[in-house]
């Protein structure tokens, strides 16, 4: 026994030594690829000396003697910190992930090849002017200089080694393709049309009507077409590959008449997926021609959101209907021919090859009709279908966003900025603007189609020229506000036009609660400061509960004659309607609201169609409003009325909470369920990777309907919210205030990898100076070789 014990201890000692050695080796190997951020560095890709100063938050301040060197250095620096993220982004948008990940990415590749983002980027490139093409080329030179350097010195980041490949040369088309992907992520609306097409063929008319936010009037021909040609929806789409339903955002600008400094204040927090690394990369770019700072998507030159020395700007998503589905009728025997005005027209056929790591190549066919690509059989090729969906989308046309960005960065007033916006076509965005001259302004900007028939709620016949687009809303007639008497402008994906507006934008606006809370605070306050704007961005007041909770409590009390839920209801009655992480009431309320949707709809449709169903929140809200105002609804009748539906959902929600958090309500807390996470794309491969690459989860307040946006998955993980927070006082643009969660760097060993994760949770902003002389800065000087 003693001998066995000695052998065991000896084996454990050896194993411990091996583990330590492996850890040391792994640490050394990973550390080898950390970016060079200080000293002098001889390079061949710049014409003159470039100084790059990283401040204490890892924000690079690039000072160059020309725009050419500025954009070359921008490409180099972004690649230093984010090359793996950039490479994955261009691969995903181009439909080339399976080459490096394997067969799990095949469906994703099929989707993006069908959506044709890279083809649209190539078409867009042809329309760019010489200067914009030069900028894209300069940027690519910088990225490629880093790729060549890191490859030759075996200093590529560890992710490339884990997946067993090296990055290809960067091209201008790669940058534009990433831009098209962001348009995909921010501008949708085909899914609602697909869902409603399914609903028309699945439900009787009275039941189907309640699934429209506004039932389309005078659309008999469109309705008939949706019934006559039934396109398969259930089992034909992958909802998990769809962008979040509301990639929301908040922005506002306050006139100097309502601020302590006497100059405008601007605040912006775009809501996107929260991830490691962040979708945004913060930078300061300076040359004799420009001085601008803010954020940009990794892989793209310039600054898309931020400020220069004279102006500041921010965006939220307009969310217009810019993707239309057409019901295409295929020829019964001739491949890729579709009926149009009584004739058969040949569609374009692209034969592509999806390369798959560790497996055979997959031949793949993309069919593009006169309206756009066929998308309804991306995953499942159907023999002799009666009808198929094609998709028309503004972003698949040539667009010029990069030129707009270049001009925005150098604008000095509203006139010049608005002129630059003419070239920003997709995705459509709500721009707010402020300048040092005191101007505040707003424009809903981008290409928004004008349709011959229909209001984009339903797929339209693809076999007739009576349908389709006849142009776009004229640029001068897009929603616009300059220096309003109220003294502020705010947007939060809310409805931005009234009934008098002559053009259709969408009927599918976000719930109004974030916008209402912002307006409530800005209207009532005065002498606002930067700190006030930060506080408002972190505001957790729940106006959703303010509208519905009293009536819902009444429903439970009407049914619950025994008083079983008296204690829980008292908690809700005493709640201050703030989504605090330490309170149990937000947990009860949000679980309840979610359960209302589940109980009403989930059993009525296939699981994938339920996931595809748009506007569950808005439709549920309308059913609640109908029920409490005494209006009839088949859905409510089937649930035995409003009170019974609300009671049953409440009971189910409480049971679920008790199963997860115990029976003692006093110990329930919103933060025990609602927890912040910034998942890394490799973290799902292994619990070890998750531990290394993801920051620790943190309990946080807020929710999907508070100004402090923190949308959550079914397991409570907060994975969507303010991907960047920004506040600027136009009285002094030499310093602005930011949060880029979880941090600037994509490198595991960098001190800027997760250093802002806690800042994000607590609303702690960092100050960025528009200067090269930043405190405790790390300075890297790029010296041209032989020049």
- Mean pLDDT per 10-residue section of the chain, whose length is 787 residues: 44 41 54 91 97 97 98 98 97 96 93 94 97 98 98 94 95 97 81 91 91 76 87 79 71 98 98 95 98 98 98 95 95 93 96 96 95 80 80 95 97 98 95 98 96 92 96 97 98 93 92 96 97 98 98 96 92 98 98 98 94 91 96 95 98 97 94 96 88 94 96 94 97 97 95 96 96 89 87
Q: Which two tokens stand for residue 685?
A: 């491969």
Residue 711 lies in a domain: no
DSSP conformational letter for 589: H
498 token code pair: 């009234």
191 with 391: CB under 8 angstroms? no
Q: Label residues 67-82 b or e (16+ Cβ within 10 Å = b).
A: bbbbbbbbbbbbbbbb
Map tokens 């609306």 to a residue: 189
SS (H, E, C) 86-148: HHHHHHHHHCCCHHHHCHHHHHHHHHHHHHCHHHHHHHHHHHCCHHHHHHHHHHHHHHHHHHH
417 found inside a domain:
yes
Widest CA span of the chain, in angstroms? 92
Q: Which two tokens stand for residue 440?
A: 């505040």
**Same domain assignment for residues 96 and 64:** yes
Three-state DSSP class for residue 169: coil
419: left (phi over 0), alpha (psi -120 to 50) or beta: alpha
Residue 32 tokens, joined: 């080898």
The verdict on 136 and 160 lying in the same domain is: yes
Pair 490, 608 in one domain: no
Task: Give the pLDDT score at 312.
Answer: 98
Among 761, 763, 741, 756, smallest CA distance to 675 is for 761
Q: What is the CA angle 293-298-299, rounded to 5?
A: 115
Output Rg (C-alpha) for the chain, integer angstroms: 27
Q: Looking at the domain assignment, is residue 725 inside a domain?
A: no
Q: Is 68 helix (H, G, I), strand (E, B) or coil?
A: helix
In a domain, 399, yes or no: yes
Structure-token pair, residue 536: 């408002």
Q: Which helix (H) or strand (E) holds 717?
A: strand 717-722
- Quote the tokens at residue 281: 């990369």
727 domain residue, yes or no: no
- 104 shares its domain with 198: yes
- Within 10 angstroms of residue 713's Cβ, the number of other Cβ atoms is 10
Q: Which of 551, 524, 772 is nearest to 645 (CA)?
A: 551
Helix (H) or strand (E) holding 38: none
In a domain, 274, yes or no: yes
> Quick one: tokens of 357?
């790591």
Q: What pLDDT score was predicted for residue 218?
A: 64
In eight-state DSSP terms, residue 527 is S
Tokens 């008790």 correspond to: 658
Do 197 and 238 belong to one domain? yes
What confidence score (pLDDT) does residue 689 get?
A: 87
| Residue that has been written with the tokens 């943190």 in this structure | 698
For residue 305, what are its two tokens?
Answer: 């959101």
Is 496 in the same domain as 441? yes
The reply to whether 736 falls in a domain is no
Phi/psi of residue 567, nearest 5 degrees: -65, -45
Residues 566 and 526 in one domain: no
| Other residues' Cβ atoms within 10 Å of the Cβ of residue 448 | 22
- In degrees and rounded to multiples of 5, residue 657 shows phi and psi of -65, -45
Same domain membership, residue 265 and residue 123: yes
Q: Residues 569-584, buried b or exposed e (16+ Cβ, 10 A)?
A: bebbeebebbbbbebb
Half-sphere exposure of 723 (CA within 13 A, CB side): 27
Give the pLDDT of residue 5.
44
Label the pairing between strands 362-368 and 348-354: antiparallel
Q: Is residue 68 part of a domain?
A: yes
By C-alpha distance, which of 324, 450, 462, 447 is closest to 392? Answer: 324
pLDDT of residue 145: 98
Question: Are 568 and 496 members of one domain?
Answer: no
Q: Examine the fold and report which residue of 614, 634, 668 is the final residue of a domain before the chain moves on.
A: 668
Cα 741-746-752 angle, rounded to 5 deg: 60
For 536, list phi and psi in degrees, rounded to 5.
-70, -35
Six-digit token pair at 324?
């239309």
Q: How many CA atoms are closer than 13 Å to the CA of 193, on its beta-carbon side? A: 30
The total number of structural domains in the chain stands at 3
Rounded-to-integer distance, Cα 659 and Cα 646, Å: 20
Rounded Cα gap, residues 677 and 624, in angstroms: 32
Tell me what pLDDT residue 106 has: 94
Name residue, tokens 């916008």: 515
Same domain, 639 and 654: yes
Task: Count CB-CB contacts under 10 A for residue 471.
Answer: 10
The reply to whether 150 and 284 lie within a common domain is: yes
Taking Cα atoms as reference points, which of 581, 589, 592, 534 lies closest to residue 702? Answer: 581
β-pair partners for 778: 54
User: What range defines the domain where residue 15 resides?
Assistant: 1-32
Token couple for 245: 């339903």
Given a contact cutoff of 8 angstroms between Cβ atoms, the answer to whether 55 and 764 are in contact is no
Please state the pTM of the whole predicted model. 0.94
548 and 617 fall within a common domain: yes
Last residue of a domain, one of 668, 690, 707: 668
Rounded Cα gap, residues 419 and 656, in angstroms: 54
For residue 464, the domain's CATH number is 3.60.20.10
Task: Give the helix, strand, coil percentages of the chain, each rounded to 5.
Answer: 40, 20, 40
Task: At 186, give phi and psi (nearest 5°).
Answer: -105, -15
Give the domain-ending residue among 651, 668, 685: 668
């Amino acid at each position: 026994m003693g001998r066995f014990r000695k052998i065991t201890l000896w084996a454990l000692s050896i194993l411990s030594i091996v583990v330590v050695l492996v850890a040391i080796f792994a640490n050394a190997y990973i550390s080898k690829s950390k970016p060079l951020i200080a000293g002098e560095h001889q390079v061949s890709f710049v014409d003159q000396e470039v100084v790059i100063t990283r401040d204490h938050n890892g924000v690079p301040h690039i000072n160059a003697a020309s725009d050419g060197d500025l954009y070359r250095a921008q490409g180099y620096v972004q690649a230093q910190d984010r090359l793996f993220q950039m490479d994955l982004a261009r691969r995903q948008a181009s439909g080339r992930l399976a080459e490096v990940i394997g067969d799990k990415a095949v469906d994703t590749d099929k989707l993006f090849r069908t959506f044709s983002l890279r083809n649209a980027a190539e078409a867009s490139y042809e329309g760019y002017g010489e200067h914009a093409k030069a900028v894209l080329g300069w940027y690519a030179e910088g990225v490629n200089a880093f790729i060549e350097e890191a490859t030759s010195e075996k200093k590529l980041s560890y992710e490339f080694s884990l997946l067993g490949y090296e990055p290809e040369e960067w091209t201008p088309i790669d940058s534009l393709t990433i831009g098209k992907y962001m348009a995909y992520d921010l501008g949708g609306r085909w899914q609602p049309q697909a869902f409603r097409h399914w609903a028309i063929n699945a439900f009787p008319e009275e039941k189907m009507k309640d699934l429209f936010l506004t039932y389309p009037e005078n659309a008999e021909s469109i309705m008939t077409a949706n019934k006559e040609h039934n396109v398969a929806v259930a089992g034909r789409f992958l909802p998990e590959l769809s962008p979040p339903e509301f990639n929301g955002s908040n922005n506002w600008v306050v006139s100097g008449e309502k601020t302590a400094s006497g100059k405008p204040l601007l605040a912006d927090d775009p809501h996107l997926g929260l991830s490691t690394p962040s979708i945004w990369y913060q930078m300061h770019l300076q040359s004799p021609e420009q001085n601008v700072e803010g954020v940009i998507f990794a892989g793209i030159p310039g600054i898309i959101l931020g400020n220069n020395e004279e102006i500041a700007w921010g965006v939220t998503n307009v969310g217009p209907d810019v993707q239309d589905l057409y019901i295409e009728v295929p020829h019964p025997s001739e491949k890729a021919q579709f009926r149009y005005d009584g004739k058969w027209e040949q569609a374009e056929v692209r034969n592509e090859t999806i390369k798959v790591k560790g497996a055979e190549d997959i031949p793949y066919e993309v069919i593009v009709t006169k309206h756009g690509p066929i998308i309804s059989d991306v995953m499942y090729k159907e023999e002799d279908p009666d009808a198929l969906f094609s998709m028309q989308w503004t972003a698949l046309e040539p667009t010029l966003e990069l030129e707009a960005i270049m001009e925005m960065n150098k604008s000095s007033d509203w006139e010049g900025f608005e002129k630059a916006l003419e070239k920003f076509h997709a995705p459509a965005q709500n721009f707010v603007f402020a300048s040092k001259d005191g101007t505040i302004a707003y424009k809903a900007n981008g290409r928004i189609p004008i349709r011959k028939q229909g209001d984009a709620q339903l797929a339209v016949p693809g076999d007739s020229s009576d349908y389709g687009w006849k142009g776009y809303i004229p640029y001068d007639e897009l929603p616009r506000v300059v220096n309003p008497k109220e003294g502020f402008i705010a947007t939060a994906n809310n409805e931005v036009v009234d009934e008098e507006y002559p053009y259709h934008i969408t009927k599918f606006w976000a719930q109004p609660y974030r916008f209402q809370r912002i307006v409530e605070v800005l209207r009532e306050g005065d002498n606002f400061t930067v700190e006030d704007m930060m506080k408002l961005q972190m505001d957790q007041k729940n106006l959703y509960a303010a509208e519905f909770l009293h009536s819902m409590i009444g429903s439970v009390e009407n049914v619950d004659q025994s008083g079983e839920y008296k204690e829980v209801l008292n908690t809700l009655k005493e709640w201050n309607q703030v989504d605090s992480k330490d309170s149990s009431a937000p947990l009860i309320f949000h679980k309840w609201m979610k359960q209302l949707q589940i109980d009403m709809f989930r059993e009525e449709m296939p699981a994938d169609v339920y996931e595809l169903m748009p506007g569950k929140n808005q439709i549920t809200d309308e059913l609640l409003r109908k029920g409490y105002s005494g209006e009839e609804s088949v859905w409510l009748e089937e649930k035995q009325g409003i009170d019974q539906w609300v009671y049953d959902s409440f009971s189910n929600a409480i049971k679920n909470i008790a199963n997860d958090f115990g029976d003692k309500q006093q110990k329930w807390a919103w933060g025990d369920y609602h927890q912040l996470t910034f998942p890394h794309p490799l973290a799902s491969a292994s619990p070890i990777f998750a531990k290394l690459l993801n920051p620790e989860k943190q309990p946080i307040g807020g929710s999907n309907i508070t100004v402090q946006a923190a949308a959550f998955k079914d397991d409570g993980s907060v994975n969507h919210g303010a991907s960047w927070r920004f506040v600027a006082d136009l009285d002094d643009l030499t310093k602005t205030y930011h949060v880029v969660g979880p941090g600037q760097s994509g490198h595991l060993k960098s001190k800027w990898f997760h250093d802002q994760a806690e800042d994000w949770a607590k609303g702690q902003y960092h100050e960025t100076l528009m200067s090269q002389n930043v405190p405790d800065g790390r300075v890297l000087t790029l010296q041209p070789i032989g020049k």
